[in-house]
Structures are given as C-alpha cells and as structure tokens.
C-alpha cells in the first residue's frame, strides 16, 4: 500500500503545483492531473481526498509554515517545498490513520526526488516543529494500528 500512497502523493504534488501555477478550478485539476492518469482505484481515491483536503485547508496549512519558517520570506520558499509541507501537515491534521512519522518520511523522500538538494533537511525541520506544536496543543488526533490516542507512535515490542 505504501507504494500506492507514494504514487498518490506524487500525483497530488503535481496537481497542487499545477493549481498554484495555473489557478485552474479544483475539478479541472482533478480531471487533468489525477483522473486522466488511469491509476489503481486506491491511488486515485487517496490522491483526490488529499488534494481536496489540501486545497480546502490551504490557509490553515500556510499559517503553520509561515509560523515555523520565521527566518524565511514565505513567498521566497520554493513552491514545491511549500506544496510538500502542506501535504504532510494536512496529513497530520486530517488523516487520522497516517502516522506523523510516515508523513514526514514521505515528504522528505518526495522533496529529495522533486526539489532542491537542501529541501529535505529544510522540510524536515519545519515539519518536526509543526508536529511538536500540534502535540503540545493537543491538536494531533491519530487513531488506528500502531498509534495511541495522543498521536504518538506506540511501540510494537512486547514487554515480559
């Protein structure tokens, strides 16, 4: 499933970048950038869900990035880096079944593939800071296998 999710995230990266550059309506972006790709249904469903959530919560996601990138002019951060961070923060806040570590790891790997050499480290720093804030403010709601109620990863080791 993780390779399908990666494929979906890469589709969303391209779609959000396209939307950012073109200003086209969401429905047009979904059709052109996701549905036209003829991917597996699980890839398409996750991609559409993530894309819509990122666009719906764009202002909120931008605020988190702006707050944590205090030494950076928001408009000068590479668009791809912003898009990758928005996707991960959106997963933190609106995808209860995805562990935060997975969102961060995926963001770093996607940034290494599509953005600049230093993007992975920059994105990791911002996302770690956002995640800490969400935990401290009790805004991280995660549930499911491998997750506790507080959004922290639960150890799979058994104690005797």
* Cα dihedral sign, 146-152-157-160: negative
**Residues 44 and 90 grouped into a single domain:** no
- The list of the chain residues with pLDDT below 70 reads 1-2, 143-160
pLDDT at 144: 60
**Residues 93 and 111 grouped into a single domain:** yes
**Residues 44 and 119 grouped into a single domain:** no
Q: What is the DSSP string of 32-55?
A: HHTGGG---HHHHHHHHHHHHHHH
pLDDT at 111: 95
Question: 64: domain range?
Answer: 57-160
pLDDT at 147: 52
**Residues 39 and 82 grouped into a single domain:** no
**Residues 103 and 73 grouped into a single domain:** yes
**Residues 101 and 154 grouped into a single domain:** yes
What are the CB-based long-range contacts (under 8 Å, 24+) for 64-71?
64/89, 64/130, 64/133, 65/89, 65/126, 65/130, 67/133, 68/126, 68/129, 68/130, 68/133, 69/126
pLDDT at 13: 97
Residue 78: CATH number of its domain:
1.10.940.10
Contacts of 10 (CB under 8 A, 6+ apart): 110, 113, 114
pLDDT at 74: 81
Number of domains in the chain: 2
**Residues 65 and 131 grouped into a single domain:** yes
pLDDT at 2: 61
pLDDT at 5: 94
């Amino acid at each position: 499933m993780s390779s399908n999710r990666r494929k979906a995230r890469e589709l969303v990266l391209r779609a959000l970048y396209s939307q950012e550059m073109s200003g086209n309506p969401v429905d047009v972006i979904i059709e052109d950038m996701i549905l036209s790709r003829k991917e597996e249904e699980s890839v398409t469903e996750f991609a559409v869900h993530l894309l819509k959530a990122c666009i719906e919560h764009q202002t909120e996601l931008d605020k988190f990035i702006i707050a944590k990138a205090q030494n950076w002019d928001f408009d000068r951060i590479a668009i791809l880096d912003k898009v990758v961070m928005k996707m991960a923060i959106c997963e933190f806040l609106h995808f209860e079944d995805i562990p935060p570590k997975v969102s961060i790891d995926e963001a770093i790997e996607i940034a290494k593939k599509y953005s600049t050499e230093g993007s992975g480290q920059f994105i990791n720093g911002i996302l770690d800071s956002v995640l800490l804030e969400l935990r401290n403010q009790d805004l991280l709601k995660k549930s499911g296998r491998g997750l506790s109620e507080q959004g922290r990863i639960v150890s799979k080791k058994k104690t005797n």
